[in-house]
Amino acid sequence: MTHSVVPNGVLHFIERLGRRFLWQKDSNSRGMHYVGWKELCKPRIQGGLGFHDLIIWKSALRARIVWDLLHHPESVLYKVLMVKYEMKLWDTSLGKKSSATWKIIQDGASALRPILRWNIGNGMSIDVFQDVWIMDRVLDKWTTFVNVEEVENFYVGDLLNNSSQWNEELIKRCFGAIMAERILAIDVGNDSHGDCPELIHDRRDMTVAAMAYRINFGVEENNICWLYNLKLHPRERFFW
């Protein structure tokens, strides 16, 4: 599933078998599905049973491939993809013209993107609106003023001057005062070095695939771990 193109229809069929196994007593009866499958696929800490949504899990597993690829630019695969696709992981303009391998990598890149933060080098790999480069969230989620018309389709590198430092005049013109101050405080690396991605939350107790999967269910936790410490009947705990 990680390295090959598995049709979503096949994954939906497997999930359907799982639902039948959970709710139906035998193959001759049609059991009542008391809780939606999406709810059951939530992490246990959010009230679910931790089942895997196979469509989301497939992409999350591929996120690990992309993470390794980004950190091994000397690898043969990276060099081949750089020559053929310029490593534009989030550029979907090729559509059906791209290979199956590239489609798998782009699928993993889409799952990896929400958990990545970029350290700025030349800034030409970082989308101003779509990537995380200001603390821990994309620009769209900051409650601030932005001159969208002027910076639309900008990369962070477009906000730098010829000396590879922040273009202070441009930033103050395009962003609110508080956000401009925050941006100008971000360190900029050497122009000769590319942008370097890192995990927003480098958790030792979770793999990259697990983090890419969980981000789809939000970061808020419902703090129901105490429920599992109670000596409840499984059905009572299940329908709490």
CB 145 within 8 A of CB 179: yes
Calpha distance 43→217 (Å, rounded)? 8
Top-confidence residue, 227 or 87: 87
- Tokens read off for 133: 């480069």
Other beta carbons within 10 angstroms of residue 121's beta carbon come to 20
- Unique residue bearing structure tokens 């996120």: 63
- Unique residue bearing structure tokens 């895997």: 52
pLDDT at 235: 61
The chain-wide mean pLDDT, for the chain, equals 84
In 70-158, the DSSP E strands lie at: 116-119
Q: Element (H or E) spanning 144, and its range? A: none
Average pLDDT over residues 39-56: 83
pTM of the model: 0.79
200 CB-near residues (< 8 Å, 6+ apart):
115, 116, 117, 132, 136
* 3-state SS string for 28-65: CCCCCCCCCHHHHCCCHHHCCCCCCCHHHHHHHHHHHH
φ, ψ of residue 4 to 5 degrees: the values are -130, 160
pLDDT at 21: 82
Choose among 94, 97, 104: nearest CA to 61: 104
In one-letter notation, the amino acid at residue 190 is N
SS3 state at 166:
strand
State pLDDT tens for residues 101-131.
Answer: 899 999 999 999 999 999 998 888 899 998 9
State pLDDT tens for residues 116-175.
Answer: 999 998 888 899 998 999 988 888 888 778 888 888 889 999 999 988 899 999 999 988
Beta bridge partners of 116: 199
In one-letter notation, the amino acid at residue 168 is E
CB 64 within 8 A of CB 108: yes
